[in-house]
Amino acid sequence: MFRYEKDQDNIITITMDMQNRSANVINDEFGKLFQEALEKVTQDKDAVGVIITSAKSTFLAGADLESLYKNKDAQSIFDMAENLKKGFRLLETQGKPVVAAINGSALGGGYELALSCHRRIALNNPKTVIGLPEVTLGLLPGGGGTVRLPRLIGLQNSLPFLTEGKKLKPVPAQKAGLVDDIAESQEEMIAKAKEWIKANPKSQNPWDVKGFKIPGGDPRNPKIASVIPIVPAMTRKKTFGNYPAPEAIISSVVEGAVVDFDTASRIESRYFTKLATGKVANNMLTTFWFQLNSINAGASRPKNIPPQTTKKLGVIGAGMMGSGIAYVSAAVGIEVILKDATLEKAEFGKSYSEKLVNKAVAKGKMTKEQAQALLDRITPTADAKAVEGADLIIEAVFEDRKIKATVTQESEAVMDSTGVYASNTSTLPITGLATASVRPEKFIGIHFFSPVDKMPLVEIIKGEKTSDETLAKAFDYVKQIKKTPIVVNDSRGFYTSRVFSTYVLEGIAMLGEGQNAQYIEHTGLQAGMPVGPLALTDEVSLSLMAHIRKQTEEDLKAEGKPLPTHPSYPVSEKLLELNRPGKAAGAGFYEYPKDGGKKYLWPELSHLFPEKAQLPQQEVIDRLLFVQALDTVRCLEENVVTSVADANIGSIFGWGFSPFLGGTLQFINSYGLKEFIQRANELQAKYGDRFAVPQLLQEKAAKGEKF
């Protein structure tokens, strides 16, 4: 329902309060309620102005994406966008001043409603964010955002908010011109809204005033005209043409800026419809909206176990990973004991947090008091007894079974008897590590990604004896530190490390076949990966990869299983022989100038691995993408990863699989299962059994199913 109240000054307050929903959303119900409220406003001759606010903690969350996702009819989507804008347009042209009292987050359609008001006042709540993030889901704002925002703050100023989905909190939003005023309380916000209405009885938005000109000029202005052609080129340089939304937004903004308001709105609706019916938006909505929300809502968490809060955390190992874990934990109020072999090493680990908070203070994102409070929660130590009473311990030492076993036994002797012990390992099976524990049911893997403070994903690995209570504790801790958890079963390399390796190994193999190194790297980017496979190998280091491979071979030999082979191995071994393990050593596939200059591919690569006829770019792209997708299916088949959502989100957040494809399994769905199998068979015939089609994929294709 929408509450419709009029005070003694004849100012109407419309309070959006949709029933049985935690947030107001734009759907058919909203459209009906909004239309009813508009009719009351236009018919009320005594009313002098309107305030629109919300009874929820957010202002308006935007469109109901579920109904949009299900709708594949272009005409229906176009009509939906036009009808929404018709209501917004009537609101701003009905003659009475309208104020948006933004009491919480206003994103997407929520902010577009605010833009159609004559004034925007935001409550200065730290949880409130304002912006138009549709581009992050492969869409553009379809409620007038590409028309009104450029007319409000100018073409150039509006593009970062539209093409990047940039969101702001109230104070910076006011500085940027997204809102006109801010208030410190609900009462002050409503009072300010009423004062403005009384002072501005006849209000129009600037673009409805005769003689209006876009701030800074429209595309016909020489200054703007000289910049406009550069913007699409810069965008394509970042996106490699894989993301149609930013380019559609630029087109909608530029084309809409040289025509009247209503024509500009129709132009926007056409671009919106094209995107909404396209593959990229479908992929991104599937993964970044539905599947990510499912994960964050606890789909992989054991049910019927009460929420658990981590209060005291022990971090064993103050290296890069341990230091990052300490920081993100202290940042949410957890007491952290950071232990290493010496106090000096532990204090050095804490200095990582000091650098991060100093940067935050310098940028105004944190006060000195907040920074000090965070640092005070981290206690560096060399004393194993300092973790006494910890309800969670995370070991983050070197990938060596003996070292890990020693610190496990040392820590379990003093930690809380009901606490959970976790190993931050990227490859070593958890069940094997748990043999060093006196309570393997309380032992679990928590795999972080570097740098911990920036990477959004954490992979939780269940051992054979890990209890549901332990899994729930780990899941809740990951949510507590504001990361996204995926849950996988125990396996060599688990899910992320295992499948990630297929990408870099395929790139290395192609170098050995005679493909140009620069061509391989560029094609990796063209495929949508964040970094080329050779550069990524240098970041990880060939020496670490060789160590993991050696450990794997020893384990398999002990188990009487065949040893793995891969065409990339001879290339890796050659570089290791030449003492070129990677970036940390200053030499790998790339050269890293000692003066800090830009890295460049080692010129000798073309001599070591003579170039032959270059493959078509699509062939290289297919090899790099298919090898990852096929191994993900094997992980699903082997019950390593147990949900499609975990697989897709894990692939994107974990190692950067092409986001526009929606993750490794959504890539197969979008490609078409039968077509994917046919192409994989072609690749297998040319390059080997790593492209063999798993039985699970064949079965799904035969049944006409998708992942």
CATH number of the domain enclosing 512: 1.10.1040.50
Q: Do β-strands 98-102 and 119-123 pair in parallel, antiparallel, or remain unpaired? A: parallel
Q: Answer yes or no: do 508 and 488 share one domain.
A: no
Domain CATH number, residue 172: 3.90.226.10
Q: Answer yes or no: do 37 and 173 share one domain.
A: yes
- Would residue 522 show up in a list of annotated catalytic residues for this protein? no
Rounded CA separation 109/143 (Å): 6
Secondary structure (3-state) at 539: helix
Rounded CA separation 185/182 (Å): 9
Q: Answer yes or no: do 481 and 358 share one domain.
A: yes
Q: Do β-strands 392-395 and 378-381 pair in parallel, antiparallel, or remain unpaired? A: unpaired
In a domain, 658, yes or no: no
In tens, the pLDDT along 467-491 reads 999 999 999 999 999 999 999 999 8
Q: Answer yes or no: do 474 and 504 share one domain.
A: no
Q: Answer yes or no: do 524 and 442 share one domain.
A: no
Average pLDDT, the chain: 94
**527: which 2 tokens?**
């495929």
In a domain, 42, yes or no: yes
Q: What is the pLDDT of residue 563?
A: 86
Q: Answer yes or no: do 425 and 544 share one domain.
A: no
The last residue of a domain, from among 466, 492, 518: 492
**Helix segments in 22-167, DSSP class H:** 28-43, 65-70, 74-93, 109-115, 145-153, 155-163
In tens, the pLDDT along 178-231 reads 999 999 999 999 999 999 999 999 889 999 999 999 999 999 988 888 888 888
In a domain, 652, yes or no: no
pTM: 0.92
**Helix segments in 301-342, DSSP class H:** 320-330
Q: Answer yes or no: do 180 and 211 share one domain.
A: yes
In a domain, 286, yes or no: no
The total number of structural domains that make up the chain: 3
- Tokens 């380019």 belong to residue: 247
- Identity at 445, one-letter amino acid code: G
Q: Which helix (H) or strand (E) holds 53?
A: strand 49-54
In a domain, 648, yes or no: no
550: confidence class by pLDDT, cuts 50, 70, 90: confident
- Tokens 């990047």 belong to residue: 164
Q: What is the DSSP string of 402-450?
A: HHHHHHHHHHHTTS-TT-EEEE--SSS-HHHHGGG-S-GGGEEEEE--S
Q: Answer yes or no: do 152 and 230 share one domain.
A: yes
In a domain, 644, yes or no: no
Q: Answer yes or no: do 325 and 346 share one domain.
A: yes
Rounded CA separation 489/255 (Å): 52
Q: Answer yes or no: do 73 and 185 share one domain.
A: yes
Active-site residue among 447, 522, 547, 566?
A: 447
In a domain, 662, yes or no: no
Range of the structural domain that residue 547 is part of: 497-639+672-703
Q: What is the pLDDT of residue 232?
A: 86
Cβ(540)–Cβ(496) under 8 Å? no
Domain CATH number, residue 420: 3.40.50.720
Q: Answer yes or no: do 605 and 691 share one domain.
A: yes
The last residue of a domain, from among 443, 472, 492: 492
Is the pLDDT at 399 greater than 80? The verdict is no
The last residue of a domain, from among 460, 492, 524: 492
In tens, the pLDDT along 227-276 reads 888 888 888 888 999 999 999 999 999 999 999 999 999 999 999 999 99
In a domain, 290, yes or no: no
Is the pLDDT at 414 greater than 90? The verdict is no
Give, as one character, the DSSP assignment of residue 240.
T
Q: Answer yes or no: do 34 and 173 share one domain.
A: yes
